[in-house]
Amino acid sequence: MQLQQTLKKCYSFEGKGLHTGRVAKMTIKPAPADTGIRFRRTDIGEDAYVPALAENVSCTARSTTISCGQASVSTIEHVMSALTGMGVDNAVIDIDNIEVPILDGSAKPYIDAIWHDGFLQQDAPRRYVELTETVEIRNDEKGSVVRLEPAEEFSYNIKVDFNSRVLGVQNAQWDSSVVYPEEIGICRTFVFFHEIEFLYKNNLVKGGDVDNAIVIVEHPVTEEQVNRMSQLFNVPALTVREDGYLSNLVLRFPNECARHKLLDLIGDLRLCGGFLKAKVTAEKAGHGINTAAAKAVRATL
C-alpha cells in the first residue's frame, strides 16, 4: 500500500512572475494527510485559501490560474507538476502576490531544493484518482486532444506539433520507468521569437527573459531585431544559432520543448485532485484543454 507523503520542512522561493512581472515570495509547507495541495494568498488574509482543484480554474491564457472568493493564484502549473512528479500528496503553498515566480522556467528549482531531502510518510493511504470510463476532450479547430483511459498504472504520452521548422514534431512520455526530477522537471518553457513583441504589447510575459525561456527563431530575422532583443533583455551579443535557437542557452534534451509541454500537462492534470491511475494521451495540448480534461474527470468522480 502506497502511503501519502508531505515535505520534511518548508521551502521558500522568490522571483518575478512570467506574465505580471510582479515579485512574489512563495513558501511550500508540509501539510496533514488528506490536505491535498492548497494555495494561500497571505497578502489577502490568513484564510485566503485556493484549493488546487479543476473546478477552481478561472483562466488558462498562457498559464493556469485558480481562484476562490477574492483570492487568485496564476501560473501554478510548474509547482503543481513538481509536487506531482516528486510524489507529494499534501502541501500548503503560501504566496504573497498573484503569480507564482517563474524562476528558471522549469520545475528544476523546486526539485533542487526538495528532492534530496526526501519526504515524510504519513499514516494514511494515498488517494488515487481512478477512472471508471474514458474521458476525452477535443478541440477540432486547433487539432488538440487529451484522452484519459482507465489503467492500473499511470502513463502520459504527448505529441507536440507547432508546424515549426525548428521544433518539428516532438514526443515525450512519463511513466514509472522515467525519473521525473532528472528527465522532465528540468525542462524549460519556450516562446517563439516572433511572438515576443506581440506578447509585450498585450501586457503578457512582463517577467519573461532569456534566462527563463527557450527562444525559438522560426522565421528569418535581421541583426537589428536581435540587437533589440538583446537590449530588451539586457543581454549582450545575442545571436541566432544554426539550429534556430537564441545563443544564450544549451538545450537540456533535443526534445526539451515537448518535455516541457509534458511537465505542464502533469501539473494541470494534478487538478483532478490526486495521482491519476490512467493512460493519458495528448496531442497539441495546452492549459485550456488540459484543465478541461481535469474538470471532466472530476465530474465523473
* 3-state SS string for 72-138: EEECCHHHHHHHHHCCCCEEEEEECCCECECCCCCCHHHHHHHHHHCEEEEEEECCEEECCCCEEEE
Q: What per-residue confidence (pLDDT) applies to 110?
A: 98
Which pTM does this prediction carry?
A: 0.95
260-271 pLDDT, tens digit each? 999 999 999 999
Q: 55 by DSSP, 3-state: which?
A: helix
Task: Please indicate whether residue 194 is annotated as part of the active site.
Answer: no
Q: What per-residue confidence (pLDDT) applies to 201?
A: 64
Catalytic residue among 19, 78, 260, 287: 287
Residues 6 or more apart in contact with residue 69 via CB below 8 angstroms: 48
pLDDT tens across the length of the chain (301 residues): 899 999 999 999 999 998 888 999 999 999 999 999 999 999 999 999 999 999 999 999 989 999 999 999 999 999 999 999 999 999 999 999 999 999 999 999 999 999 999 999 999 999 999 999 999 999 999 999 999 999 999 999 999 999 999 999 999 999 999 999 999 999 999 988 888 767 766 666 666 667 788 989 888 888 888 787 777 666 777 888 889 898 888 899 999 999 999 999 999 999 999 999 999 999 999 999 999 999 999 999 8
197-241 pLDDT, tens digit each? 677 666 666 666 677 889 898 888 888 887 877 776 667 778 888
User: Which of 248, 189, 240 has the alpha carbon at shortest distance from 219?
Assistant: 240
For the chain, how are helix, strand and coil distributed in percent, rounded to 5? 25, 35, 40
User: Which of 203, 195, 201 has the alpha carbon at shortest distance from 221?
Assistant: 195
For residue 181, CA distances in Å to 37, 107, 109, 195 come to: 19, 8, 10, 30
Q: What per-residue confidence (pLDDT) applies to 272?
A: 98
How many Å apart are CA 139 and CA 285, to the nearest integer?
9
